[in-house]
Amino acid sequence: MRRLLWIVLATAPFACTVGPDYERIGLDVPDAFRDATESQTLASPADLDWFDVYTDPVLAGYLEEALASNDDLAIAAARIAEARAVSAIAESRLFPSVDGSASLRSQGIARDGFPIFPQPQDRDGGTIALGGFASWELDLWGRFRRAAEASDADLLATELDRAALAQSLVVELSASYFRLLAADADLEITRRTIESRRRSLDLVQARLDQGIASKLELRQAESLLQSAELLVPQLQAARTREENLIRQLMAGNPGPVLRGAPLDRQVATLEVPAGLPSALLERRPDVLAAEAQLAATVSRIGEAKALLYPQVTLTGLGGVTSQQLSGLFNGSNLFWDAAIEVSLPIFNAGRLEANVAAAEARAASAVAAYRRTVRIAFREVADGLVTLEKLKAFREIQEKRVAVLLDQSTLSDARYRGGVTSYLEVLDSERQLFDAQRSLVQARLDEVTAVGVLFRALGGGWTGTAAAATSGEETPLADASS
């Protein structure tokens, strides 16, 4: 028995780890994005923070409050704590388990009971016992080590999921804030237009009273005014909804919110060259999370394969027992029991082999999911680059168009007042100007929102990578970070 114990302990340090080790899979990664003229190496825009992109101090305060108190982020933080605890549980299985016990037992025998027992010298007595039990399943095939690797990868994926959620929160809140500013601008344009059309209506009414204008022109002026007035309650409702959404994202109750600079003075810039290196996408938390999940599934293949081999467990029981407390620690009261248990799967109707096959299938699925995530990331950056470029060009053209239509509307109004043209020309000019002004607001909203979407696509605005690099803790992806 003792010889077998020494053999097991001597061979334990040479235990192997079955199953594949995680290695970063090969990807078809472009050197530059579509329509790039050249590939450049530059500091990553992902090294910037959101407050370097959106400079509005009011928005910055909202972002800070949301990142500190958002309910979804609180849920994600709790999931990280749970994953960290699960990882600690998995690592604890690498070590022996020791439990202690203490008992105090008292007993008595009836003097005149049935059946009749031989008369003992002492009918009343008790025992005191102190002991412990130890158990250690040797990780000869790396089952527990693979489980610990998988749990660490799951923890990393959970932390990266929270980073991705924080990015989505920033994009959603900033987009809502800019939609609020757009509704303000749209409402201001609408109110100015209403005032202008009321003056036009008064002018048409006065000309009708003088017999210069027709009643048709009066109805046209009234219809033009009412079409603008109909937008006021819609825009007011839209503003209220955006305010409530911003408050909810900051874990607050519905209510009004403060504004910073108006939409036409919002500064949101992100200088991104066309030849952006694709390596920047490694900063995206969703891509890294997908890779961490892949690493976890690979480790679980080894965990499943280890069950095909013999399992060796060392157990030990020992302690002292006595009827008197004073004699509890005498050498003659010592008891112990040690054992080596070896279990080997013989027949289980293919359950263990099927478990390995299932783990390999999950790993294959994770590979496909990782490749899909990477392709989506490349597409989102490529889309974001061209979208931001074209939206800027569209907004600049729209600004020129508004200036032209404003001059056209002024000339049409002067021509109508001078009796040179009919009110139909004024009507058409007013409609075109109003629509163009509202389209300009939408163009500015689209452009400033696209900056945030592209910044998130580049993996910007989170510090998870830097934190992992300085934590000193190894991760399943540590060997693939080059």
Query: Strand 334-343 to strand 97-108: parallel, antiparallel, or no bridges (unpaired)?
Result: unpaired
Answer for the pair 433, 402: CB distance below 8 angstroms, yes or no.
yes
List, edge to edge, every strand of the sheet that includes 97-108: 97-108, 124-138, 311-322, 334-343
Q: Position of tokens 């690592």?
A: 91
Which pLDDT score, from 0 to 100, does residue 284 have? 87
Residue 480 has pLDDT above 50, yes or no: no
The more confidently predicted of residues 27 and 37 is: 27
Residue 144 has pLDDT above 60, yes or no: yes
Answer for the pair 126, 107: CB distance below 8 angstroms, yes or no.
yes
Answer for the pair 58, 259: CB distance below 8 angstroms, yes or no.
yes
Which pLDDT score, from 0 to 100, does residue 482 have? 31
Question: Other CB atoms closer than 10 Å to residue 424's CB: what's the count?
Answer: 13
Q: Distance between CA 242 and CA 165 in Å, rounded?
A: 20
Residue 320 has pLDDT above 70, yes or no: yes
Q: Exposed/middle/buried for 31, CB within 10 Å: 0-12, 13-18, 19+?
A: exposed
Which pLDDT score, from 0 to 100, does residue 17 have? 85
Q: Distance between CA 23 and CA 80 in Å, rounded?
A: 25
The more confidently predicted of residues 416 and 80 is: 80
Backbone angle region of 439, left / alpha / beta, with phi > 0 → left and psi within -120 to 50 → alpha? alpha
DSSP per-residue codes, 330-377: -GGGEEEEEEEEEE----STTHHHHHHHHHHHHHHHHHHHHHHHHHHH
Structure tokens at 461: 């605005």
Q: Please provide residue 337's backbone torsions phi and psi, each rounded to the nearest 5 degrees.
A: -155, 130
Per-residue model confidence as pLDDT tens digits over 206-225: 888 888 888 888 898 899 89
Query: Strand 97-108 to strand 311-322: parallel, antiparallel, or no bridges (unpaired)?
Result: unpaired
Which pLDDT score, from 0 to 100, does residue 185 have? 96
Per-residue model confidence as pLDDT tens digits over 356-409: 999 999 999 999 999 999 889 888 888 888 898 899 999 999 999 999 999 998
Answer for the pair 250, 66: CB distance below 8 angstroms, yes or no.
yes
Which pLDDT score, from 0 to 100, does residue 295 have? 95
Answer for the pair 35, 274: CB distance below 8 angstroms, yes or no.
yes
- The pTM of this model reads 0.82
Mean pLDDT of the chain: 83
Which pLDDT score, from 0 to 100, does residue 37 have? 46
